[in-house]
Amino acid sequence: MDELKKTSGHSGRLVFSVPYNPAAIKELKKIEGYEWNPVKKQWSLPDSGHVREKLKEIFAGFPLSEDLNNILNPNEQNNKKNTDSAFKELSAELSARKYSRKTINTYLYYNTGLLKNAGKAPENICQSDVTNYLQHLNEEKQASASTLNLVINALKFFYGKIHNKKFIYEIKRPKKDKKLPVILNSDEIARLLSALKNIKHRTLLMLAYSGGLRVSDVVKLKISDIDSERKLLHIKNAKGRKDRYTLLSDAALQNLREYWKIYKPETWLFPGADAKEHLTVRTAQRIFKNACKAAFISKDVSIHSLRHSFATHLLEAGTDIRYIQELLGHSSVKTTEIYTHVSNKDFSKIVNPLDRIMKK
């Protein structure tokens, strides 16, 4: 057959390529007016509703080439273009408001999840779609209340601030989980640090506990953030884009000096495999997990438990809760007050009734 000279979008023809499939090709040849271009390896068919339905029937259940998918699912392609455009706008707006890259990615992730769950384009989303998505995350993904609140924040920003959809403000927030943080006692902290033979790993966890740092804070520490004279750590651009100072203990400082003599880091205090990049959060989490295993600590804890333990131990030692709030970087003292529920400072003054009975 002569080489085709027609292209997609001209003379009412559909031009497309397909993966080699003898059965499909046999069916294509049954369609009246078909043509085959052996050079470009493309099929050409008359553009009609009947032909499009026949193509859907032939390729049902088979992966489609991009051009054939555009022909058979034009609405899907338009939705994708609209969604991509809307999400670029969302990303730009978040960036302009100085949201962190992590938050931007999180907002995009959950807004994408809503569209996948609903099977709709952004402009067609309604209140029931959001409710169903939250129910899906709660029941099938076992999302926590804090995660669901984060999802709601992401959806409210997109549909409320950008698309001006009023229904999004009627979405009810879930009740917060009333879980108390798991605390490591002083003996467990000592065992944990002693179990680490690698001085870099030990220094990392010592600084995390000594300053009550989030894992994202400790891995991003720079040499310039260490104030050895004042025994302070300068935490920059932390959660909420806030800077703060926190404590640097004598023991941590001594260990830090020994670590520096061996490794001599230049910019990042804890560089990763590539010295130009800092250690990853995942690596720090793995270091903590391995340390717990070596120290025979079976509590359900994470590296963030060092921050919880720091705050609780300060409270038990009589430190004013306002100082603890500043050290942790909490905006409200109400957030810090959770540690009053796990501290044994006041409980230790109570004489247990069983001990009273046994002494008789």
**What residues are labeled active site?**
214, 239, 304, 307, 330, 339
Residue 9: left if φ>0, alpha if ψ -120 to 50, beta else—which one? left
d(CA 73, CA 254): 65
**Locate tokens 């640097």: which residue?**
248
Q: Which distant-in-sequence residues (6+ apart) come within 8 Å of 104 by Cβ?
A: 91, 94, 95
- Tell me the H-state helices in the chain: 22-28, 49-58, 66-72, 74-96, 101-118, 127-139, 145-155, 186-194, 199-211, 215-219, 250-263, 281-294, 305-316, 321-328, 333-336, 353-359
β-partners of residue 226 are 233
Which is nearest to 207 in space by CA: 181, 227, 237?
227
Residue 45: left if φ>0, alpha if ψ -120 to 50, beta else—which one? beta
For residue 181, what are the CA distances in angstroms to 136, 308, 332? Answer: 27, 7, 18
Which is nearest to 153 in space by CA: 225, 103, 87, 197?
103
For residue 269, what are the CA distances in angstroms to 60, 201, 273, 274, 300? Answer: 56, 12, 13, 13, 28
